Amino acid sequence: MVTKRKIELLAPGGDVDSIKAAILAGANAVYCGLDQFNARNRAVNISFEELQGILHLAHSRNCEVFLTLNIIIIEREIPALIGLLNKLVNTSIDGVIVQDLGMLYLLRKYFKSLTIHASTQLTTHNEGQIKFLSKLSANRVNLSRELNIHEIKHLTSAAHENNVLTEVFVHGSNCISFSGLCYFSSVLSGNSGNRGRCSQPCRDQYKTTAAGKEYPLNLKDNSAFFDLKELYDAGVDSLKIEGRIKKYDYVYTVVDVWRKQLDTFYSQSKVGTDDSLLYKVFNRAFSNTLLKGEISKSMFIDNPRDHSIKHLSEINLYASADEVEAGQLKLYQEKEEIKAMVEGKINQVSAKKAPLQIHLSGECGSPLKVSVKTPDAGFDIFSECNLFDKGTEVLTEAMILKRFKAFNDTEYFIEELNLEGIKAAVYISFKELTSLKKKILFILNGSKETIAPVTLPTIKNREKEMHKPRLSVLISSEKEVFLTDKTKADIYFQLPNSFKDKCSHYAELFAKNKSLIPYFPSVIIGEDYTAAVEFLKQLKPKLIVTNNTGIAYKAYQLGIDWIAGPQINIVNSYSLLSLKEDFNCSGAFISNELTKNQIQAVKAPADFKLHYSIYHPIVLMTSRQCLFHQVTACEKNRVDDTCIQQCEKSSSITNLKNDSFLIEKSKGNYHTIYNQNNFLNTDILNDLPYVFSSFMIDLRDVKTESKLLVSKSEVIQLFENLLNGKADSETKVKKVIQSTTNQQYKKGI
């Protein structure tokens, strides 16, 4: 019989008990976060000391531990991050999960012993992005949840060709937005999802829509329980369970069910059919339609709360309220029994650091013997020099504790220090004690040398750009290409998410209008990515702007000058260094989530231009789902290719605070939700003079509540006057553009 390859089962751990539950239930690996730098601030999370104990427990049971560092890192946090990484390199951590490009750069350059996993927040959905991340030394990528099994298989093959592993979410909450591209929480409350503070406005109640829904953005939970064979055949390396804010009973139950499913598949080559236990812990009902490539209205559920009792009612066909109540009581009892069972199991194991017993013995004229005993083993270390009867400081317990305190920073702690074997006052050099400490640490750290702390070289401030910044203008309608003849501003033309059927058309458009600059969106999947690459090869433009790192990688390969767009969300100097040094990028937009002080701290490399979007409709999220199913009751039950290419409509939803949000679907694009008011930030011109090489205004026809009272040509002229310092130009700009906000600039992240 052919032995099946084993797929990793990767489980969440939001606190120590949940991590223990995952390990006991049979997870091959757990992912968890510290109380800083991770994307689940609402989880309890763990301390660094608790991490050391968890590592000891997990590794004793053949379970790996991955640490989530999956947020964007602002400049002032870099010293604390380096301090943490200096500690992590001397642990047995099995990998770090990362979103920020600057952190990827730092890990690759200074912390090469740490294995890098690319977070779901990096929205990996095309092979160019995999190559981009591979160049940054990522060992593994989490593929976007929106992908179907054929897309997953293709990308897994591409990943393996580049020595990269793939992981796929198979259970838990679904995000309605492409991960990493959601600014809903950031704009509404200042709680950025890219900082682990998402307040989940997509789960909120809204005023009843025309389709009769109160929770129009609420998706069912993801479950690929019955799709194990397809994932196995696709070559996926890791199956990831979502849920770092879930409790230990949930984690144990889900991991245990999946563990048994995997074991059945390995031993019997079949997939089990009983998922009933998954309905006995929190769920919003389940859907696998993304994986199946059947994006439909069945993915939604008009209730964000636990679906367990409703599911029980449906399968048991309860006929009366009494039957429902009895069933509900039975379910609650079963939940309590599960909780008690798991609690009993986790209380029997310790995730605390392991104790060390250290005994010292020796006499004058002989080597010092240090006997170290752990719960699992023991070993002896001898000094290279003999003990003396005179010296600087007599050997005492306090002296040894001072020199050996580094042992307490490992998976162990000094429980007992015994000097009874030292028969008289003896002396030993500090150098010799340091040598003994290093030898013991080497053994305690799994035969790894202690890595010295890294000190980053100072990034010098470059000379300020004393010339006036340029204006750039973003359009998306071919009817507005004439603007290239009306202004000296750079004109960017936004390409759609999908133009595989119009590749030649767009190539011809740009060939006829040489000054028009291609502007690529953040999401380009499958055949659309192939078409975009072909477009670049055909056109060979002098310059592009891209919000997609897969396109960035191809531009770098083809020697095309490129600018990193605002959706790449650059927030620190090391991200800029990475873009320039690794991908020959010539400039980048700085994130619109930052304040004046946060932007001011960012230092650009030499010969690298900084850009900023000064006026634009605010994208709250981009979604592969049809958002009209729950809002206007779209006549189609599922999304097909003609929907993406041909559908053009808009609507709105309003929350219970009377905030309205525009939902727009334009031809060739995915569904987008926009804030009701556009972003306008003229303050930055006075706050940060001579920082930016150019400022962009987005004049696409997105019908938010912000209004232009004059023509686009006149708006462009007003902004040119503003950048040239013409008197009263700021007042005039604000007068002709009504209903705007710059709250993100004021709040920051």
In sequence order, what are the residues at sequence separation of 6 or more whose Cβ sits closer than 8 angstroms to the Cβ of residue 320?
none
CATH code, 470-618+679-747: 3.20.20.70
CATH architecture of 8-174+220-272: Alpha-Beta Barrel (3.20)
pLDDT at position 652 is 96
Q: Cite the beta strand spans of 396-476 per DSSP E.
A: 412-422, 470-475
pLDDT at position 1 is 43
Decide if 583 contacts 552 (C-beta within 8 A). Answer: yes
Give the tokens for residue 462.
Answer: 């470059």
pLDDT at position 36 is 81
pLDDT at position 193 is 87
Q: How far apart are CA 500 and CA 235, in angstroms?
A: 27
Q: Is 470-618+679-747 in the same CATH topology as 8-174+220-272? A: yes
Decide if 72 contacts 569 (C-beta within 8 A). Answer: yes
**CA-wise closest residue to 54 among 79, 74, 27:** 27
Give the tokens for residue 132.
Answer: 């981009």
Q: Cite the beta strand spans of 568-608 per DSSP E.
A: 587-589
Q: How far apart are CA 149 and CA 231, in angstroms?
A: 7
Give the tokens for residue 404.
Answer: 């050996």
pLDDT at position 42 is 59
Cα–Cα–Cα angle for 705, 708, 711, rounded to 5 degrees:
150
For the chain of 749 residues, list the mean pLDDT of each consecutive stretch of 10.
82 96 98 81 80 96 97 95 96 97 98 98 97 98 97 98 98 95 90 87 95 96 97 98 95 98 95 94 95 94 90 83 86 93 96 96 95 95 94 91 94 96 92 95 92 92 80 97 94 96 93 96 97 96 98 98 97 98 98 96 95 98 95 91 92 96 96 97 95 97 96 97 94 96 93
Residue with structure tokens 């009612």?
313
Give the tokens for residue 392.
Answer: 């600087």
pLDDT at position 405 is 94
C-alpha dist (Å) from residue 365 to 61, 384, 570, 645: 44, 12, 62, 86
pLDDT at position 4 is 79
pLDDT at position 2 is 55
pLDDT at position 47 is 93
Using a cut of 0.75, tell me whether the model's pTM lies above it.
Answer: yes
Residue with structure tokens 């939970």?
221
**CA-wise closest residue to 37 among 90, 91, 82:** 82
DSSP-derived secondary structure letter, 712: H
In sequence order, what are the residues at sequence separation of 6 or more whose Cβ sits closer than 8 angstroms to the Cβ of residue 361?
368, 369, 371, 420, 421, 422
- The strand pairing partners of 87, in sequence order, are none
pLDDT at position 39 is 55
Distance from first CA to last CA of the chain, Å, rounded? 55
Give the tokens for residue 259.
Answer: 């563990």
Q: How far apart are CA 126 and CA 89, in angstroms?
A: 31
Domain residue spans of the chain: 8-174+220-272, 177-218+623-676, 354-444, 470-618+679-747
